[in-house]
Amino acid sequence: MFTEAPAVDEAPVRTRPAAQVRSLWERPAVRLGLLVAVVLALVALYLFHDIPGSLLFAARIRGITVLAMIVVAVAVGTSTVVFHTITQNRILTPSIMGFDAFYGLITTVMVFAFGSVAFLRADSLLMWVIQVGVMVGFSVLLFTWMFTGKRRSIHLMLLVGIVLGTFFRSATEWMQRMLDPLDFQVVTDAMFASLTRPDPTLLAFTAVLVAGGCAILLPLLTTLDVLTLGEPVAVGLGVNHRRVVMVLFLVVSVMVAASTALVGPILFFGLIVANLAYSYAGSFRHAWTLPTAVLLGVMCLLGGQLVVEQLLGFEGTLSTVIEFAGGLFFLFLVLGSADRVGAVREHRRRASDRKAEE
């Protein structure tokens, strides 16, 4: 007698395509490729959407803006991810070292000493060189002072950077109070980041510095992966921690100083793109997180500029949109970190209570 064959469970067959898609999505290369497609679509939309006049003229003007966004995204995204790796803290940005405050102090001192007319008539390349040179010189002096000898401590260096940043902001506000309204308006305008119609010469020099920084970081990708394990483990695996960290700090300083001197300070931008990259990349390796942060940075800048132009009707600035979204995102990160710390403490308390009962 023949018995009826058991029914074949078709559930695995039906779920196989979903499992394949999920497995494919877990690959960092697939995620990065999708991000590249989205960025290219946004670039095409920004370049060719709503052109009232000559297509060639509009594409040339908007193309310079897109190039500036790419350079800034590479500089800020890369420097923030590297800074997080060095400090082992994902809610810090290089601006905590006082770069933005120092930029504001330099601008205010120039207007305070020479007047707004001389400031506006000054050679843009000379101003860029002065700002980059002073900011990089300050950071190098701080790094060599606080990260060599017996005082060698990253956390102490960050604390000193916070204190100096507060001092720079206080000095800036003190001088701004003594400026006349016209000079104060010039200083205020310089404090807002502007990525539209940058100086092509300054953009070329900034791109060269950023490209040089990326060339230095490229052979250090594996070393950066090791640094995520902490200083003791990195030293045990043969990494010259002091030398590598000094080189990385120098690269971060040059990138941040160059991009800030080009377009002005952009608060919270690096914090947004870096933390989004950690969640989206699907890998802890810097070979994936760094390009992901750059592409997310370009997407945020292009998307924010489209929001300013199409939705707000130019009634606002891109930096205002980024700072508003970044402030909310920063609060989300801080509250999430506090919840995780509280959960860990509660778990440890319960474990200790169980051991005491045993």
Query: Tens of pLDDT along 38-89?
Result: 999 988 888 887 777 677 777 788 888 889 889 999 999 999 999 888 888 7
| 117 found inside a domain | yes
| 41 found inside a domain | no
Instruction: Count the domains in the chain.
Output: 1
- Measured in whole angstroms, the distance separating CA 230 from the mean position of its chain's CA atoms is 22
Q: What is the mean pLDDT of residues 22-35?
A: 80
| 351 found inside a domain | no
pLDDT in tens, 219-240: 998 999 888 888 888 888 888 8
Q: Give the range of the structural domain holding residue 307, as residue numbers without chain letter.
A: 57-341
Residue 13, pLDDT score:
46
| 150 found inside a domain | yes
| 358 found inside a domain | no
Q: pLDDT tier at 2 (50, 70, 90 boundaries)?
A: very low
Helices in 26-153 by DSSP H: which ranges? 28-48, 55-87, 99-121, 124-146
Share of the chain above pLDDT 90, in %: 10
Q: What is the mean pLDDT of residues 232-259?
A: 86
Enter the pTM of the model: 0.81
Nearest Cα neighbor of 186 from 176, 196, 199, 172 is: 176
Coil, helix or strand at residue 265 = coil
Q: pLDDT tier at 148 (50, 70, 90 boundaries)?
A: low
| 25 found inside a domain | no
Q: At what angle do helices 241-263 and 55-87 cross, to 10 degrees?
A: 150
Coil, helix or strand at residue 53 = coil
| 348 found inside a domain | no
Q: pLDDT tier at 1 (50, 70, 90 boundaries)?
A: very low
How many helices (H) and strands (E) the chain has is answered by 14, 0
How far from 288 is each of 218, 277, 285, 293, CA to CA, in Å? 12, 9, 6, 9
Residue 147, pLDDT score:
64
Asked if pLDDT for residue 153 goes beyond 80, the answer is: no
Quote the CA–CA distance of 128 and 116 in Å, as a whole number: 16
Written as one string, the DSSP assignment of 128-140 is HHHHHHHHHHHHH
Written as one string, the DSSP assignment of 277-308 is HHHHHSS--HHHHHHHHHHHHHHHHHHHHHII
Query: Which residue is associated with the tokens 């924010």?
Result: 304
Q: At what angle do helices 99-121 and 241-263 cross, to 10 degrees?
A: 40
Comparing 291 with 88, the larger pLDDT belongs to 291
| 203 found inside a domain | yes
How far from 190 is each of 98, 185, 193, 262, CA to CA, in Å? 17, 9, 7, 11
Residue 26, pLDDT score:
75
Q: What is the mean pLDDT of residues 306-319?
A: 71
Nearest Cα neighbor of 301 from 80, 73, 78 is: 73
**CATH assignment of the domain containing 216:** 1.10.3470.10
Asked if 216 and 247 touch (Cβ cutoff 8 Å), the reply is yes
Quote the CA–CA distance of 16 and 21 in Å, as a whole number: 9
pLDDT in tens, 196-210: 778 888 889 999 999
Length of the chain: 358
In degrees rounded to 5, what are phi and psi of residue 150?
Answer: -75, -20
Residue 307, token pair as written in the block: 């929001």
pLDDT in tens, 89-124: 777 777 776 777 888 888 888 888 888 888 888 888
Mean residue pLDDT across the chain: 79
Any idea what the Cα angle at residue 294 is, between residues 299 and 220, rounded to 5°?
Answer: 170
Residue 150, pLDDT score:
59
